[in-house]
Amino acid sequence: MRRLALALLLCGCAAVPKLPQAPIPLRNPTAPVASQADVTQARLGGDWVVVQGAGLAPGARLRFSEGAMSLDGVNMPLAETGAGRYAVGGQTLWIHWLDADNRTAAVGDPGGARVWIMDRTGRPGERLTAAREILEWYGYDLRRLDGR
């Protein structure tokens, strides 16, 4: 009976999906890095489209809701770990910049595993320049972004 209970417990533990990542780090670890302190799950809430990225492909669809992030329909747990800092399925995700109207965001892993720029409509206009400048300041190699 114990073996059956253990087997049922193990079968019920589905693996948490992982975010894709670049094969080699995307960020210079000696560059300064920070997250935007006023970014909340409420500000992130809703649908987004990746417009440029490494680790996440342009065109990928994201949806943020309280306690969850969905990547192309695959749900992952989202937990706040600090101001503008999150864990998605246990992986680090920092919001480096979010414009005042919550339309465009520069997102990354300070360890360099992934980085992307997302926008509500997929057409960030001049906000793309601002997002790229922030990411470059934080040491990300923008030459490696797809969707340039």
**And the tokens for 94?**
């920092």
Q: What is the pLDDT of residue 24?
A: 85
Per-residue pLDDT of 64-103, as tens digits, reads: 999 999 999 999 999 999 999 999 999 999 999 999 999 9
Q: What is the pLDDT of residue 14?
A: 57
Q: Is 80 exceeded by the pLDDT of residue 3?
A: no
Q: Give the CA count within 13 Å in the CB-facing half-sphere of 51.
A: 21
Q: What is the pLDDT of residue 128?
A: 98
Between CA 12 and CA 14 the distance in angstroms is 6
Q: Is 80 exceeded by the pLDDT of residue 136?
A: yes
Among 9-13, 45-49, 144-148, where is mean pLDDT lowest?
9-13
Q: What is the pLDDT of residue 148?
A: 60
Q: What is the pLDDT of residue 23?
A: 82
Q: How far is CA 135 from the centre of its chain?
A: 13
DSSP the chain: -HHHHHHHHHHH-PPPP-----SS--B-TTS-----TT--HHHH-EEEEEEEEESS-TT-EEEEETTEEEETTEEEEEEEEETTEEEETTEEEEEEEE-TTS-EEEEE-TTSS-EEEEESSS--TTHHHHHHHHHHHTTB-GGG-B--
Query: Residue 26 in contact with residue 138, Cβ under 8 Å?
Result: no
Per-residue pLDDT of 19-47, as tens digits, reads: 888 888 999 999 999 999 999 999 999 99
